[in-house]
Amino acid sequence: MTGDQRAVIVAARRTAVAPRGGALARLQADELAAPVLRRLLDDAGIAADRIDNVILGNALYGGGNPARLAALRAGLSPSIPALTLDTQCCSGLDAIVMAARLVGAGAADCVLAGGMESFSRAPVRMHRSQVPGEPPVAYDRPAFAPPPFADPDLAQAAALLAADRGLSRQAQADFAVASHRKAVAALAFLKTRLITDGGGLPDADSFTRNLSRATALRAPILAGPQETGLSAATIACEADGAAAVLVLSQRAFAGFGGPGLEILAAGSAGGDPEAPALAPVAAGRRLMKAANVAPSDLAATEIMEAYAVQAMVNAGDLAIEPSGLNGMGGGLARGHPIGASGAILAVNLFDRMLSRENAAAAARSRGMALIAAAGGLASGMVVEAVFKQAG
């Protein structure tokens, strides 16, 4: 983003994340997102009538436009447009990328963007039969790539990657244990950042726990061979949740009193549908080059942990410092609300880089968020902490 229309994230919030059928099971996706949108306006002290657009990612809805439902539930004016975006796991981060592009094009000054997902309330999917009189046929997921491309089960693709890279079941378990350990350490901080909206909703990610290596190794293998297989401990569980950020143009940020994350580069990339977990590597390299940032310049990096092996390979291939990776835990420790997961990465990046405790050390520091999606897609952004208004 260049010139007067550079995009800056000035507020970031999310709900707790709960496994499918858990504490958030009674809420549909737009009901999860609405309180997040309301709270962002309160946090930033910005009037609702200044919002130009609402963009929310979602992967499992059955039609309609749940972003519009969320915006209206949040009390925004009916005159404010809303768009639902579906790029599967990339959806929540792609919504933020789209917001940044609207701002960069001069088409908006103030955009609410993020993602939402309810595995618990997702509709049952069925194909109509092509034969008259025969009943519809249920299916678990749509196709992510057409013939002649391969369209592997994502867990099987990740298992093949683990075997190819020689990443043992023990190494993956250790990565999952570390993710939970970091998430447990961040629980107290996160309780001040999560939207509970009353009603007995959780004030912590309910899947986070003190996971031991022994327990992780006892988890049954779900994909791949014994030596490098993926288990219930090293695959993120299906989950419910929502997250969003408030994106301002540089001119709007000039009148804003707080700090922000300036988006230096943001975008999406495509890769081999047969190896979707590798797509973030090319995306990350492209984004760092565009932002003139080296891996060693990154104070904080958030990479989606849909599978332990995916995050391990992405971080390794990009030479990301382990000390800066997923500092408050990752998807393995909270779950994977598909349409929201990319936005959760952005919220975590915001909190890690702009928290009051880190302000002195993080001033003008850089960070990156990356996520992969089915079909060989990836999205990401590189940001810089700004504690004083530009200009």
In whole angstroms, what is the distance from residue 261 CA to residue 255 CA?
A: 15
**Residues in a beta bridge with 9:** 247, 261
Cβ 19 vs Cβ 256: under 8 Å: no
Is the pLDDT score of 197 beyond 80?
no
Is the pLDDT score of 384 beyond 80?
yes
In whole angstroms, what is the distance from residue 76 CA to residue 162 CA?
A: 46
The per-residue pLDDT for 363 is: 52
Got the DSSP string for 205-221? -TT-----HHHHHHSPE
Mean local confidence (pLDDT), 123-135: 91
Angle 59-63-68 from CA coordinates, rounded to 5°: 85
**In which residue are the tokens 């001040």 written?**
192
Whether this prediction's pTM lies above 0.85 is answered by: yes
Alpha-carbon distances of 83 from 80, 104, 126, 236, rounded to whole Å: 10, 18, 25, 27
Cβ 116 vs Cβ 58: under 8 Å: yes
Cβ 193 vs Cβ 345: under 8 Å: no
In whole angstroms, what is the distance from residue 250 CA to residue 312 CA?
A: 35
Point out the residues that are catalytic. 89, 336
Is the pLDDT score of 166 beyond 80?
yes
Query: Could you report how far apart the first and last alpha carbons of the chain are, in Å?
Result: 16
